[in-house]
Amino acid sequence: MNIVLPYGVAIFIRCITLALIALGVVLQRKSHVINDKLPTSEQKNAFKRPLWHLGFWMYVIASLIGDVAGISSLPILVIAPLTTLVMFFNAAYSQCLLNEKMKTVGWIGTVIVALASAVLAILLNLPNTPRNETEMKKLLLRPGYIAYCVVNILLLGVCTVMTWHYLNKRKKLMFRILPGNNGIDIVANLANQKVLNKTNLCIALLYQFTSTILAAQALVFAKLCFDLLVSSMTDGANGFISGLSIGIPIVTGITTILQLVLFNASLHYYTTLVTVPFGYSVGIIFACVNTIIYYDSFFILAPWKVGLVVLSVIVTIGGICLLSKT
């Protein structure tokens, strides 16, 4: 039984689903924007808003179809450059549906991020053949990979603490921003509003960063699940027999759900013109690094490629900084 799609078909499906993913994200954001403009007494939870459900399930279903088509038929490091298309779809939808006009500097930042991310993925397009359970366990239990996972966990912890800090700060700012009765109150409110906007940006980016770490890890684990499935079908021996191999699908499911929750949370606080390119560009970096470390293939890279990889990461960060000025 062949469960691998032709290369061209997989690319086509991936592109179509990326367009739907971007539309789903913008629809969720539009639902949050409309709801926030209503009086407090009329505001509804996201689960009670039809537009949010439309965007959310469009995002989930398109992501599922796109990931299945990509993971089954494309290397992770080929999936990465295609993902940059989301940034352009997102910019187009945001202008049409949210009336969020991107400045010239924002378009420049988007192009820089997309090109740098694509170059990064091409440079790191290393072979990763399907692994059986024995090979998978050997790779997962390497001290280097375990150390890398610990670093990811620490990053998640730091992001959680920082998010909690900014959420508390936001609550205090929201309490202070009241209608002013005189010039002093108005000036104070304007100052508080400026700080609030920066706080909202920090919260949105932290949610995106946390979501990105989980999504990149889930992508690698999903690839492992597919490798084990292919190995089981090819060799005729069940690859899901040990605690480790059984735990991988469970961890994949948990990280995927958490990633969806955190990604959606970020949409409530800031424009998708900034948060989506940030999340996807950082996600490409993490996906590439995760794959290289898991397959223990970093030292395969020639020194000049390592230099270009570092340069691409720096350029990507520069592009993100331009996007933040949108």
Tokens encoding 73: 């038929």
* Residue 255 or 2, more confident: 255
pLDDT value of residue 324: 59
At residue 128, does pLDDT exceed 60?
no
- Terminus-to-terminus CA distance in the chain, angstroms? 49
* Residue 70 or 49, more confident: 49
At residue 277, does pLDDT exceed 50?
yes
Confidence of residue 162 (pLDDT cuts 50, 70, 90): very high
> Who's near 126: CB < 8 A, 6+ residues apart?
77, 291, 292, 295, 297, 300, 301
* Residue 163 or 129, more confident: 163
At residue 184, does pLDDT exceed 50?
no
Q: Report the helix count and the strand count for the chain, using DSSP H and E.
A: 11, 0
Give the DSSP H/E element, type plus range, for residue 58. Answer: helix 50-73
State how far the Cα of 161 lies from the Cα of 245, in Å rounded to an integer. Answer: 31
DSSP 325: T
Contact assessment for residue 29 and residue 93, using Cβ atoms and an 8 Å cutoff: no
Mean pLDDT of the 200-224 span: 88
pLDDT value of residue 45: 85
The CA distances from residue 310 to 120, 209, 293, in Å, are 9, 19, 16
pLDDT value of residue 183: 47
At residue 185, does pLDDT exceed 70?
no
User: For the segment 52-88, what is each residue's pLDDT rounded down to a tens digit?
Assistant: 999 999 988 988 888 777 777 766 666 666 677 777 7
pLDDT value of residue 211: 92
State how far the Cα of 180 lies from the Cα of 202, in Å rounded to an integer. Answer: 26
What average pLDDT does the structure give for the chain?
A: 79
86: nearest Cα among 326, 314, 270, 284: 284
pLDDT value of residue 179: 53
At residue 207, does pLDDT exceed 90?
yes
At residue 222, does pLDDT exceed 70?
yes
Contact assessment for residue 217 and residue 153, using Cβ atoms and an 8 Å cutoff: no
pLDDT value of residue 77: 61
pLDDT value of residue 107: 75
pLDDT value of residue 1: 46
Confidence of residue 117 (pLDDT cuts 50, 70, 90): low
Tokens encoding 208: 């995106």
Contact assessment for residue 87 and residue 277, using Cβ atoms and an 8 Å cutoff: yes
Amino acid at 322: L
pLDDT > 90 fraction of the chain, expressed in percent and rounded: 14
